[in-house]
Structure 1
Amino acid sequence: MGFPAVRMRRLRSSSALRSLVRETDLRVDDLIYPLFVVEGTGVKHPIPSMPGVYHYSLDLLEDELQEAYDAGIRAVLLFGVPDHKDSVGSSAYDEQGIVQRAARMIKEHFPDLLVIADTCLCQYTDHGHCGIVAPAADGRSAVIDNDRSLELLAQTAVSQAKAGADIIAPSNMMDGFVQAIRAALDREGYTHVPIMSYSVKYASAFYGPFRDAAHSAPQFGDRKTYQMDPANLREALREADADVQEGTDFLMVKPALAYLDVLRELRERHQLPLVAYNVSAEYSMVKAAAMQGWLDERQIVLEMLLGMKRAGADLIITYHAKDAAKWLREEA
């Protein structure tokens, strides 16, 4: 049976009818707001490649959190930008590290705000890699020592949980990182703290502005030996399967826009909550075009985030979170 018996426009004739049959919803509760915290006082430093995003010292972070909270946001993702860097990223697992102090402050002032701690070493190492660098067996090049790195990543996760982090979000892409972190958390009595694994993290060109913000660009080489080849989908499924077997509580795909097919495949394969990371360059491209007057930022952002939900994401990490939350509440 076809036209004229079937008329698709019947269900589009009014706003109320379109809302009634809408298949996908984007809600404020779906959004996670990433924040960059730094040492010092009185710091609210703009990140040039990410308009509207700032480095915050802890004394000024409270105002930003209050604004986000008032907009309805109930989850933040913390990235630390330390003053001290060394070869083993010791500031990452320092109990007085910037993320640990930020977590304690947030839980004191906003006890019902979920604190998600990014668990990696790249911001804290002087070489900018996500693990410990060791000489290669041939003596001619350096490699990332996977298993030694796991020990420090587990130590970092425990220190973050001890400081009050509600969720540990390991982004390092070392083999076995979920198992190592789960075992360490359980051993220290944090069996209740979930892991939001960066399960599928591609070696992407979309991270450029973030590396400026986090001061985390590699000082030599690249991250292609541990982050994924953008050409691969089947490998992404294997990565996610491994993390599920090791005990993750969430799966994540990063970046989002160029990898919506990966989101869809994971949605059909696994029942765990699925997170899309709307990364820095995806954000900055929209901001740059909006500043030129080439597009309607509000409409573009909401459509883009809705597309991630439609592809299968349950949650979205996005630098647009505060604006998107306000827009969604205005439309409610």
Structure 2
Amino acid sequence: MRIRKNAVITGVGGYVPETVLSNKDLEKMVETNDEWIVSRTGIRERRIVNDANVATSDLATRALKKLLQDGDIHPDEIDCVIVSTSTPDYVMVSTGSMVCEKAELKNAWGIDTNAACSGFLYALTLGASMIESGRCKRVVVIGADKNSSIVNYKDRNTCILFGDGAGAVLLEQTEEEVGLIDSFFRTDGSGKENLIVTAGGSKYPASQETLDQNLHYVRQDGRVVFKAAIQGMTNTCREILRANDLDIKQINYLIPHQANLRIIQAVGEQLNLTDSQVKVNISRYGNTTAATIPLCLWDFKDDFKYGDKLLLTAFGAGFSWGATYLKWGKLRGK
């Protein structure tokens, strides 16, 4: 009988900048107020990089170093680093390679992926595949974004939503009945105009015209994204449950992308989950894009017990969305 070798999370790390941008701070920048922001998003504050020399790779590196420190892991043990980000340091040089350099990972190679807010889940599946195939023994998957670099702080519709941060997990192989079990993903490119940074790529390279039109900032149609996110996240979670012959009552926790508290609550309600089963930290960090799910895993890691069944789900630009089912293992150093 062939024993399935799963990829299991054995380490978690996170990092958010020290500078807090509160709703009260935003009241001084755009026409908005704390009550309006909280009632519509659930966000009270977000963390923002206040040093122009700090890039996404620095956020990712600090999350990775926290993971290594807490798990008593030597940098030479890491084989590969996958960084999911929408805000890479450079267009041509991968952020993953920068992280390997800054964290002094001598034996690792690094790459980037980009599926916006869904990116961490996509990257997690790629990392798990490397572990399951035996090509790598230890893979670090990082979700990191310096959203302040693409936010227009004169646009009250978007500047209230986003924060900066990074979260990282370590994947290793196990023959125990824990680890990543299944994923279900979908994309729909026709939704791209509803959540996008228009310029800066090969279609609309940087020019004076793109700068004058503020096309290098994120923009979104909130109503379209709101509806699509609830539907996409709920449906992919149901697909995972069906494919694995699971009842929602068997799920211990839902770890949703932290984009909007009303979206999170709607998904939880449609899945018939209690508030205590749905992990939420959006009030403190805002939407950190690819970092939201790993930051949740980092924040709430002490709540998860060996064998707990977790559903992770996200929705982001692209449109991209999906869900991952895993059983929690044992963290190094615990």
Q: TM-score, normalised by structure 2?
A: 0.31
Higher relative contact order (CA 8 A, sep 6+): 2
Greater radius of gyration (CA): 1
Question: By percentage of residues, which structure has more strand?
Answer: 2
TM-score by length of 1: 0.31
